[in-house]
């Protein structure tokens, strides 16, 4: 039986950049085992399966799989799926300037605002429903450095130190000295488990203040060899927790703030992730993560 699927490149305005995503919209009769097998076949960082919403007021229920496991939440699947479903909804009629999509995910219903552009790819921004929380201590700098193939003195910049936060998926946030150091970072398998694998995900979000483009606030890379092969070109779930890093080390004043993360450049898949977050009484009160998405492919998979 052929099942319809789409691929989109997410957190980019350009096809063949950003983070590729597969979305299977014809899911009737698929069980968890079959969904996992399909995700392995696509072998992208995530594959989404769209099911009918349990709450009729919501747009859809979605299940998100890496090639190895199901996730309760992920950022680029949320953005890409919202863009696809909103575009399909208004394909045959008059399209509004914006729309709201609500996706039922493992962390709960995620509200996504979709903005249609006349001369640019569609932009989507989701509310982070689980504000980031500390997730235990990070490993010592020497262990992190060994796992990333760097020297211990290349870990950290200014007052930024390695920390762990989760907004649904845990990450170790590792600041490194500059673009040269982050460009040389790589997975050292023999040291990875000791530095990153205490949570079963082993995800490292490595970042620096140096950037390729002046309008970006941080340059980042993400490695999670237990979940995906290689590295991830754009990581919305890490971006959802990153305002906690900014709040801890940069101490922004109360009010609404924005930040632009650039990622994927070392993979030749440049990505742009936009953050908006609100600080009140010194604490995070709201976070939104956004980016553009472009459809690349439509096809059928035998499943």
With contact defined as beta carbons under 8 Å apart, do 130 and 107 qualify?
Answer: yes
Can you tell me the distance from the alpha carbon of 73 to that of 34, in angstroms, rounded to the nearest whole number?
Answer: 19
CB neighbours of residue 190 within 10 Å: 9
For residue 195, the surrounding DSSP H or E stretch is helix 189-196
> 33, 46, 94, 262: which one is catalytic?
46
Give the three-class secondary structure for 197: helix
With contact defined as beta carbons under 8 Å apart, do 203 and 172 qualify?
Answer: yes
Local structure of residue 107 (DSSP, 8 states): T
Active site residue 46: yes
Going by their DSSP bridges, the two strands 271-280 and 255-263 should be labelled as antiparallel
- With 0-12 / 13-18 / 19 or more C-beta atoms within 10 angstroms meaning exposed / middle / buried, residue 174 is buried
Can you tell me the distance from the alpha carbon of 37 to that of 65, in angstroms, rounded to the nearest whole number?
Answer: 10
CB neighbours of residue 132 within 10 Å: 25
The pair of structure tokens assigned to 140 is 């010592």
Can you tell me the distance from the alpha carbon of 167 to that of 8, in angstroms, rounded to the nearest whole number?
Answer: 24
Instruction: Supply the residues annotated as catalytic.
Output: 46
């Amino acid at each position: 039986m052929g099942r319809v699927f789409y691929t989109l490149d997410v957190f980019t305005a350009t096809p063949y950049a950003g983070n590729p995503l597969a979305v299977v919209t014809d899911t009737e009769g698929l069980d968890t085992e079959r969904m996992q097998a399909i995700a392995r076949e696509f072998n992208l960082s995530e594959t989404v399966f769209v099911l009918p919403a349990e709450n009729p007021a919501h747009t859809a229920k979605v299940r998100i799989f890496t090639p190895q496991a199901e996730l309760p939440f992920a950022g680029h699947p949320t953005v890409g799926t919202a863009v696809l479903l909103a575009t399909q909804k208004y394909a045959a009629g008059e399209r509004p300037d914006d729309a709201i999509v609500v996706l039922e995910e493992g962390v709960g219903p995620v509200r996504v605002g979709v903005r249609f552009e006349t001369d640019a790819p569609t932009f989507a921004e989701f509310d982070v429903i689980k504000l980031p929380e500390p997730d235990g201590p990070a490993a010592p700098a020497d262990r992190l450095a060994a796992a990333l193939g760097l020297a211990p003195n290349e870990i950290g910049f200014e007052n930024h130190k390695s920390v762990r936060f989760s907004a649904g998926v845990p990450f170790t946030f590792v600041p490194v000295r500059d673009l040269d150091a982050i460009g040389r970072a790589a997975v050292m398998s023999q040291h990875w488990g000791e530095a990153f694998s205490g949570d079963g995900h082993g995800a490292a979000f490595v970042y620096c203040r140096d950037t390729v483009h002046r309008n970006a606030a941080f340059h980042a890379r993400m490695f999670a060899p237990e979940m995906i092969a290689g590295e991830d070109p754009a990581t919305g779930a890490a971006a959802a927790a990153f305002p906690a890093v900014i709040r801890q080390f940069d101490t922004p004043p109360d009010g609404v703030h924005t930040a632009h993360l650039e990622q994927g450049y070392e993979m030749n898949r440049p990505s742009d992730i936009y953050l908006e977050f609100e600080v009140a009484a010194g604490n995070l009160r709201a976070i939104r993560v956004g980016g553009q998405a472009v459809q690349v492919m439509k096809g059928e998979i035998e499943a």
